[in-house]
Amino acid sequence: MKRLLRRLFKLGFASILLAAAVYAGTDSFAKQWREFIVGQLAERGLHMDFKKLLLNPFGGLIAKDVRLFSDAERSHVLASVDRLNLDFDYGKLLEKKFVVNGLDLSHASVSLPVDDAGGAQTMITMEDFSARAFLREGVLEIRQAEGVLSGIHLSITGMLTLPEKKADDAPKMQLPNLSVSHQMEVLNSHHRRIQKGLDWLHRFKFGSVPKLRLEVNGAMDRPLELVARLFFEVSGLRYDTYVCEDLVAEAEYNAGLIDLTRLYLKDPTGQVNASATWRMGTPELRFQMTSSADLPNLAQAFLNSDNLREIVFYGTPHLALNGTWFVDGPLAKGKRPLIATGRLDCGRFSTRGAVFDGLEANIGVAPEGVYIRDLLLKHETGTLSAQALSHDTEGFRYRAVLRMDPNAFLPFAKMPQTREIISRFQFNSKSNIYFEIEGSGPKADLQECLNAGRGELRHFRYRGVDLELMEADVEFQGPVMHFRNGKLEREEGVGQVAHVHVDDREKWVRLEGIRAGLDPVAVTSCFAPKVAGAIAKYRLPATTSVEMDGIIYYKDSTRNDFEVKFRHPSGTGHYVLMGEDHLISAPEGHLVFKGDDLRFDIDGRLFGQPMNAKGNVDLAPGTNDFSVAVKAGKFPYEVFSKDMPFEDVIANVASKGSTTSFDIRSALLGGRFSLKGSLNERVQPEPYQGELRLDGVSLPQLAQIYSKNNDTEGDITGHFRFEGKMNDWMALKGGGAAIIVNGNLYTVPILGPLTPLLGSVLPGTIKGYNVAKEGNCTFEVADGFVVTKNFEALTSVFKMALSGRIDFIRDDVDVTAQVRIRGLPGLVFLPFSELLEYRGTGPINNTKWSSNLLRMDNDKDDRAPPSVETMKEAQRISGEATRKASPQAEPKRPGSIFNRPGGR
């Protein structure tokens, strides 16, 4: 019987449970109990709502689609949960009181709403969230709350005091001077910051799951007075190329004050230690930080700034900062939302290809500007020390001392003009650099600042010129520079610079008061390299005194207007005329550059006599036009391998286009000499043409030049009109005439050896036979030969007629001479006239004569004489004027072969 009753009891109990389960799943149960439970929870300070309520067969109730509100009016949702287990007291339920003992979440999804500034709403969602919370005596105790928040393992513990509220209680203010809506706005701003923090963390990749532990304590009806502690840690954090081995953060929230007690970061380079405090609702966050980590990658990873990416540190940089960061308000929107001071120390590093040995500086940052104090930049060539202030309204100011090679800053120069100026300097291990400068401008850009200072450089090169010292007062702004009170030193001397003004926009340099006892090419190269090239042609001594003044346009020479003076009382220079290099003693010159025109006036001593060269040169590219007038007291010039002593020379040479013309006059061996003509440089080999004249040139002096053993008398007058090609004697063609007066014909070359032969034939009683009263001829030059057919010499007793040719290329003579006795003795010697015909052969200085009667032909290999056509061409060049030159130079004389046919 007992067994039957026990079975009936179990069956009845099961039926009751089944009926309760069926009833719990009906809408009637959910509606009736939902309103009852919501009301009971509201009395305990928990303002909830849910769409569905189910009875859990294993105990408690299951609420689905739960929303937790901040107030009884349910105007602001604090959180949403997809399902929530309510553990209630069944005994109290029989007393018609619903007392929740605990809240249980199992793998639930919890969402926190976030309203952005535009009014749109997003959710912060915690997945797989499980928690156990107990309600005892007005306290909600949270235990074992764990979930996943945006990939972060989140665990929460804490104790929250629930508000005591009855239906007839007067409403209480949760916070003085703060409305509920204001509190919700503050909470929503917290949610937005949480969302931003989560979005920021999404930039990183993690080697392990980040862990976030949160402990919360306080009263739920005063959320802004809660006390919370946070602990965050992660290993293997990565962003792009940056790797963080460990990241730990510990923070505390207490009644609106957030205190980041510890932020620790460790990477392969070093570590970061930081702390901060912030009173919520205020715009200022106070912080302090020390770092020895990888600054470039750290800045990019955590501050989203790649300004340091181009820097490579070979040692560990150390940075210390403390100050205030503006997280809200107008200052937070500025480009520098902080006030901070600190110090940076780092060892060797490189940037943009430049390697530096170290950097140290005290720094300060404020919303209105930045200052740098005691900056010291180290380089293998020296150091740079500086102080600087950049202010948004007051502009930029700095003061610096440079003791290092400025070429290290080439990669940082923005303007090509700046890079070009810096690259002019070349330094070595012996160089010494000191440049003190200060400046100011609208912003931190030296190109826009007005900069001034003084520099001193030793043992270096400027534009390829070696200098022992360069010092000057310097002022520059952008491409405009001034150098004043300058001094240059080289091994040979010292130079002074009053003012050099450079405008690199207009591409000109103005020189004032350049006075130097230095190499003129070197000192000119410092300011005007192209002008230095013109001066270099003179090869002046290094100690030449130089003066320079004027303006030089180094990109547009047509606008040049300056002058150069040089002088050396004891040295020598060089001057090139007609392709010959001439040494000038005590050179002194004045060069004036006007556009592309160079006017020059040069004095000195040439071959011991005064010399002056005056003229102008066209310096325009692609031209070689010039004109020069040279006066020289003495000017030896090589003629047929012997120096001819020209004196009182006046030479006018001009070149226009491809044609060079010349007009040279001088005294020569007691007479006069002139040479006029032109040279065409367009054709190769260069053709030339001209006319040479001699007037009363002494034969004795001429003979002494070519044969010191000859003793002759008289003088020679003549001219030669010619054409030819440079360095080609075979191409020389032309003709002319010559007159010899009062000459001892038989002591001159060629005719001299004929004297013994005539002495053996002519009567010894005829004295003075060898003194010619006159001699004249015409001649042609072609194919390397001088050809004459009418040379005639007259003495008081006889006359001589000579014809033949002289090969001046091979130094070979082949001429025939006939002697005829004048007057009555001539009748006596007429039968023997063939005995007075002679042939001369051999070199000019040693001609061999023999009688035609006794001469035997030999097999001598003579060079072929000019052809008939060639001779006609030479006669054409000489022209009729040449043929008449001898008679018109001197009155016709009786007995001349020019006016007496047959010569009788």
Identify the bridge partners of residue 152 per DSSP, sorted by sequence position. Answer: 149
In a domain, 203, yes or no: yes
pLDDT for the residue 858: 53
Kindly tell me if the per-residue pLDDT of 118 is higher than 60. Answer: no
In a domain, 706, yes or no: yes
**pLDDT > 90 in the chain, percent:** 34
Domain boundary among 219, 239, 259: 239
pLDDT for the residue 189: 61
Q: Which domain holds residue 205?
A: 22-165+178-239
* 891 band by pLDDT with thresholds 50, 70 and 90: very low
CB atoms within 10 A of CB 534: 18
pLDDT for the residue 760: 61
pLDDT for the residue 187: 58
* 768 band by pLDDT with thresholds 50, 70 and 90: low
In a domain, 824, yes or no: yes
pLDDT averaged over every residue in the chain: 80
Burial of residue 175 (CB within 10 Å: 0-12, 13-18, 19+) is middle
Average pLDDT over residues 79-108: 70
Kindly tell me if the per-residue pLDDT of 787 is higher than 80. Answer: yes
In a domain, 291, yes or no: no
pLDDT for the residue 675: 94
- 8 A C-beta contact, residue 792 and residue 801: yes
- 8 A C-beta contact, residue 339 and residue 365: yes
* 28 band by pLDDT with thresholds 50, 70 and 90: low
Q: Which of 289, 298, 286 is nearest to 326 (CA)?
A: 286
Q: How many domains does the chain have?
A: 2
* 604 band by pLDDT with thresholds 50, 70 and 90: very high
* 405 band by pLDDT with thresholds 50, 70 and 90: very high
In a domain, 300, yes or no: no
pLDDT for the residue 892: 35
Kindly tell me if the per-residue pLDDT of 175 is higher than 70. Answer: no
pLDDT for the residue 882: 45
- 8 A C-beta contact, residue 725 and residue 686: yes
Name which of 80-84, 116-120, 685-689, 695-699 the model is least confident about: 116-120
Say which residue, 889 or 78, is predicted with more confidence. Answer: 78
**Distance between CA 573 and CA 347 in Å, rounded?**
55
- The 10s digit of each residue's pLDDT in 620-665 is 888 888 999 999 999 888 876 788 899 999 999 999 888 899 999 9
In a domain, 12, yes or no: no
Q: Which helix (H) or strand (E) holds 607?
A: none
What is the full DSSP assignment across 155-201? Answer: EEEEEEEPPP--TTSPP--SBTTB-HHHHHHHHHHHHHHHHHHHHHH
In a domain, 752, yes or no: yes
Domain boundary among 217, 239, 261: 239
> What are 503's two structure tokens?
């405008």
- The 10s digit of each residue's pLDDT in 474-522 is 999 988 999 999 999 998 889 999 999 999 888 899 999 999 888 888 8
| 875 phi-psi bin (left φ>0, alpha ψ -120 to 50, beta other) | alpha
Kindly tell me if the per-residue pLDDT of 449 is higher than 60. Answer: yes
Identify the bridge partners of residue 198 per DSSP, sorted by sequence position. Answer: none
Most confident of 292-296, 464-468, 740-744: 464-468
In a domain, 416, yes or no: no
pLDDT for the residue 713: 76
> What are 19's two structure tokens?
């009926």
Domain boundary among 194, 223, 239: 239
pLDDT for the residue 699: 81
**Distance between CA 139 and CA 159 in Å, rounded?**
7
- The 10s digit of each residue's pLDDT in 566-576 is 999 988 888 77
- 8 A C-beta contact, residue 842 and residue 862: no
- The 10s digit of each residue's pLDDT in 264-303 is 999 988 999 999 998 877 899 999 999 998 888 877 777 6
SS3 331: helix
Average pLDDT over residues 831-840: 66
Kindly tell me if the per-residue pLDDT of 222 is higher than 70. Answer: yes
Kindly tell me if the per-residue pLDDT of 254 is higher than 80. Answer: yes
- The 10s digit of each residue's pLDDT in 366-395 is 999 999 999 999 999 999 999 999 999 999
* 202 band by pLDDT with thresholds 50, 70 and 90: confident
Kindly tell me if the per-residue pLDDT of 885 is higher than 50. Answer: no
| Chain-centroid distance, C-alpha 146 | 63
Kindly tell me if the per-residue pLDDT of 758 is higher than 80. Answer: no
Kindly tell me if the per-residue pLDDT of 82 is higher than 70. Answer: yes
Identify the bridge partners of residue 751 per DSSP, sorted by sequence position. Answer: none
Say which residue, 565 or 69, is predicted with more confidence. Answer: 565
CA dihedral 840, 841, 842, 845 (to 10 degrees): 20
Burial of residue 798 (CB within 10 Å: 0-12, 13-18, 19+) is buried
**Distance between CA 230 and CA 250 in Å, rounded?**
6
* 252 band by pLDDT with thresholds 50, 70 and 90: very high
pLDDT for the residue 373: 96
- The 10s digit of each residue's pLDDT in 704-720 is 787 666 667 788 899 99
pLDDT for the residue 17: 46
Strand 227-239 and strand 211-219: pairing?
antiparallel
Q: Which of 562, 572, 566, 531 is nearest to 546 (CA)?
A: 566
Name which of 236-245, 600-609, 845-854 the model is least confident about: 845-854
pLDDT for the residue 6: 56
CB atoms within 10 A of CB 305: 12
What is the full DSSP assignment across 414-477? Answer: -SHHHHHHHHTEEEEEEEEEEEEEEEEESSS-GGGSEEEEEEEEEEEEETTEEEEEEEEEEEEE
pLDDT for the residue 13: 46
Kindly tell me if the per-residue pLDDT of 890 is higher than 70. Answer: no
| Chain-centroid distance, C-alpha 258 | 54
SS3 620: coil
**pLDDT > 70 in the chain, percent:** 76
Q: How far is CA 563 from CA 104, 464, 484, 587, 671, in A?
A: 101, 23, 19, 17, 41
Name which of 463-467, 587-591, 801-805, 872-876 the model is least confident about: 872-876
CB atoms within 10 A of CB 699: 23
pLDDT for the residue 895: 32
- The 10s digit of each residue's pLDDT in 317-370 is 999 999 999 988 888 888 889 999 999 999 999 988 889 999 999 999 999 999
